[in-house]
Structure 1
Amino acid sequence: MTDNAPSNQPVEPGTWEKVVAANPQHAQNYAERFRRMEAEGADLLGEARFVDAMVQRNARILDAGCGPGRHAGYLSARGHDVVGVDLDETLIEIAKVEHPGPVYFAQDLTLLDLAGHGVEAGFDAILCAGNAIAFPAASSRRRILTNLAKALAPEGRAVFGFGQGRGYEFNDFITDAQASGLVLELGLSTWDLKPFREDSNFLVAIFSRA
């Protein structure tokens, strides 16, 4: 697997860190927005249902960029062994309170250290949704993808979903993923399984390990 940046190289701030630096209440506001959407009846769990359908019962699942924990909590409630990781400590604390069950810890995925948190690698599935893969700086993306590839079980699969216009072209993402130890199995345009086309503005991509 390829890692194009030394592990001791400083992590360049991504979009999320820059927004939080400009507005320290951003994480709280982000979580509150989804609370309002849920109260209004919005379906916020399509990503979690997607992953739940992919795996056997009692699977090990990593929610990479878990935010306030709604997907991790849903998957845990269905009997899976779930770990949620996010770089934002505020969101992790919200997740622990609002969606208990998974193991949560705060860490930049560029520096992902599962063993340091008492967690074994070998996940049956990794979910990276909510545009989380588009937030990091371009210099960090292959390091993150390499870390996630290493965290998969040999037959595990990683699922990423993000929208166009986030500063990460779909073709560049696929190239980075394949250079980082992942093999594209399927591309879709929605979490409800609509096929990906050239004019699609959202990508749901399923990868296995190389």
Structure 2
Amino acid sequence: MSTRWERIARETVGDDYAQRYAERFRAMAARGEDAHGEAAFVADLVDPPARVLDAGCGTGRVAVRLAELGYAVVGVDLDGSMLEVARAEAPDLDWRRADLARLDLGETFDVVLVAGNTIPLLDPGTLLDACERLGAHVTPGGVVVCGFGLDAAHLPGDCPPTALADVDAAFGVLGMDAVVRYGTWDHQAFDPADGYAVTLYAEPRR
């Protein structure tokens, strides 16, 4: 049975969606466009060699860049075809196949990064479990960073939007607050009308 992401990817891109997704970002880089906003965001939060979990890593674009910057990175995704591309791109990096709603790596990270519309592309009914599992992989004092689209213009195919309030509540069950929110990966101010949010979740400082 395919996941929500796999169904949408095949319907909107085709069966070779993993390769075409990677090629899209290679083309951006070839045009001189910045394809590393998420990695730059992490670099502003913590210095290497901090440990970073790229949750929903896809074809590995962000994880590869973070490794180049000196971070200790683990990339996790449920989609085997996306991970195949990631392993071909960077065979020496730590790639693991896992469902975020059941994630149990037995280790923790300074930053858990959840980018690329991973949150709204979760299968129905798994948001609370996924947020619990993501939060369980954060070191004391660490953060979860979630960036995703809030409306149809920023989401693929027929992916339904996920309300920020629902994500805030899911992390709130763990005692993690939305400590800061931006509208882009380059720290522009958040405006709900712009259709995108990047949020840092962390335990309140005592």
Report the number of matched residues.
Answer: 194
| Matches of 2:2 and 2:185, distance apart in 1 | 29
Give the structure 2 partner of residue 132 of structure 1. Answer: 118
What does residue range 57-206 of structure 1 map to in structure 2 within 5 Å?
57-115=48-106, 121-165=107-151, 166=155, 167-206=161-200
State the match for 2:38 in structure 1.
47
Give the conservation status (yes or no) of the 8 Å contact 2:18–2:85: no
With normalisation by structure 2, the TM-score equals 0.86
Match of 1:7 in 2: none
Deviation at 1:13? 5.7
Is this contact kept in 1: 2:132–2:174, CA < 8 A? yes
Q: 3-state SS of the aligned residue for 2:119? A: helix
For the residue of structure 2 that corresponds to 1:143, the secondary structure is: helix
Cα RMSD between the aligned structures?
2.0
The answer for the alignment partner of 2:202 in structure 1 is 208
Identity %: 36
What CA distance in whole angstroms lies between the structure 2 residues aligned with 1:48 and 1:100? Answer: 19
- Kept in 2, the 8 Å contact 1:72–1:99? The answer is no
Task: Tell which has more relative contact order, 1 or 2 (C-alpha 8 A, sep 6+).
Answer: 1
Alignment of 1:28-43 (within 5 A): 28-43=19-34
Q: Which residue of 2 aligns with 1:26?
A: 17
Residue aligned with 1:174, SS: helix
One-letter amino acid of the structure 2 residue matched with residue 80 of structure 1: Y
> Quick check: 1:65–1:129 contact (8 Å CA) kept in 2?
yes
SS state at 2:126 partner: helix
Q: CA deviation at 1:14?
A: 4.2
Structure-2 separation of matches of 1:21 and 1:43 = 26
For 1:60 and 1:67, how far apart are their aligned partners in 2?
18
Q: CA deviation at 1:137?
A: 2.2
State the AA in 2 paired with 1:39.
A
